[in-house]
Amino acid sequence: MQTASSLALYYPSRSDAPCYQDRISVVMVTFNKYKYIRELLNSFVHLNYDAQLLDIVVVDNNSSDNTEELLRKEFGDKITIIQTGDNLGGSGGFNAGMKYVLENHDNEYIWLLDNDVVVHPDSLNWLLDCIKKNLDAAAVGSMMLQLDNPELINEIGASMNWRGAKVSMVNFGARYSEMGSNDSKAVEYCAAASLLKTRKSLEQLGLWQDFFIHFDDVEWCLRAQARGYKIYCEPKSIVFHESMNKKQPTWIKYYNIRNLLYLYASYKPLLIGIPLLKFSLWVVYFKLHGYHKNAAMCLKAIADFLFGKKRKQEFTTENYMAFDSYDWSRLDSSATCVFYDVQNFLDFIERASFRIAGDNKVVIYKADGIEQLKAKYPNIQFVKPFAFMLQNFFAAKHSSKVTLVFDGALEGHFMLPSFSPKLVVYPSYRTLLDLN
């Protein structure tokens, strides 16, 4: 049976991979993801690096799935486990690990890894090669391929799109075989999913900002560049990481909004009106489309930024359920399926076992592959997006008994209000949100 850790061998090692003998501190943070952290540690078996030179520190944020006990039983003294006693998030967890390393190790390099990655055998060698050749480097990151589809790229470093109030990941979704040059390059930031830091830069720049999760690594990379350092990405260093498309948009939105506002306040204060306007429009969008808790969450993120709140925050969000927990027969033929693209629609049909009837209507926003879909379902009425929006906008509120099965991928694409009862589905996660 194939395991995630066996992905380490998906691509062969390179014959020109360098060989180093530096002692390295490795810091991983986990919270209730024992199966993930175990796969990561197992992938180290394939690492082309002397295991005796690796000081592995696993920071457990008070997991309730017996992570600490199980890891101690399986890996023993091969790893050091730090128990924080509370869920400190990625920021607090990495800070605890890096502080431990600074106080207890004298290693020149610290390798930070997310708990949901798998490392390629040559990954550390190439990171070291890049950081040694670039004396101005504060840190070097790996190229990330998708854990669920290892032929696709998650990112090769990233940059801030300040005028769009978002992060732009380099080569996201491109095929690894078609990427072209694999030379290392300076980037604006690399994610802490796989980031090799120098001890010197960590001592000079300090630890993460306590953002709980997300944008803490971005802020540190921006801080490094403000002090004259550079951040590099080394595409020859490969790790496999869960795709962003697999990460369900729930409470994480709060931290993305709040922490991005902090970045603007620190590094682009004159442009802070851009994210404030963008996220205020999100509030309107969420309210018009029935995401009332998401609207409140977005408002809370803006308010907490204005009042200077960081760290972990408590709030209620929408409740999601698994596909197999939902009674699909109640929809029967009364649903209009509104999907971003053909693949999401087909994934939904396959995974939810939803019965397509002749009375169903299907709206596809990204029309690539629509002709094949029509050929496969000749009795289904395919409605053009603009026509659907007009019909839906002028319909009396809640007058229709038709349920919209609405693709969650459309959250980022503004539409006219949805006045019909709505069921939001996330095919990649096999989950849904019932707003009826």
Predicted pLDDT of residue 401: 61
Q: Return the residue matching tokens 């790893």.
A: 79
Q: How far apart are CA 260 and CA 310, in angstroms?
A: 12
Predicted pLDDT of residue 9: 86
Predicted pLDDT of residue 257: 95
Predicted pLDDT of residue 248: 55
Domain boundaries, the chain: 4-246, 252-306, 321-434
Q: What is the pLDDT of residues 140-155, one digit of tens each?
A: 999 999 988 899 999 9
CB 255 within 8 A of CB 211: yes
CB 211 within 8 A of CB 256: no
Q: Which own/partner pairs from 292-298 qualify as long-range (CB within 8 Å, at least 24 positions apart)?
A: 293/317, 293/318, 294/253, 294/318, 297/251, 297/253, 297/254, 298/253, 298/254, 298/257
Predicted pLDDT of residue 111: 98
Q: Give the dihedral sign, CA 133/137/139/140.
A: negative
Q: How far is CA 285 from the centre of its chain?
A: 23
**CB neighbours of residue 13 within 10 Å:** 14
Q: 379 Cβ partners below 8 Å, 6+ apart?
A: 358
Query: What residue type is 96 in one-letter code?
Result: A
Q: Return the residue matching tokens 């090769």.
A: 156
393's tokens: 């906008």
Enumerate the β-bridge partners of residue 322: 431
Predicted pLDDT of residue 249: 54
Q: How far apart are CA 363 and CA 406, in angstroms?
A: 10
Nearest to 162 by CA among 67, 314, 268, 63: 268
**Whether pTM exceeds 0.75:** yes
Predicted pLDDT of residue 247: 56
Predicted pLDDT of residue 233: 97
Q: How far apart are CA 124 and CA 24, in angstroms?
A: 9
**CB neighbours of residue 268 within 10 Å:** 16
Predicted pLDDT of residue 332: 67
Query: 416 to each of 93, 337, 353, 424, how far by Cα in Å?
Result: 42, 16, 29, 16
- Could you report the average pLDDT of every consecutive run of 10 residues in the chain (436 residues)? 75 91 97 93 95 97 94 94 94 96 97 95 97 97 92 92 92 86 91 96 95 94 96 96 64 91 96 96 85 86 93 76 84 81 88 80 84 82 78 56 80 67 84 79
Residues across the chain = 436
Q: 29 Cβ partners below 8 Å, 6+ apart?
A: 58, 59, 61, 90, 93, 94, 97, 114, 115
Q: In terms of CATH architecture, what is 4-246?
A: Alpha-Beta Complex (3.90)
Predicted pLDDT of residue 419: 67
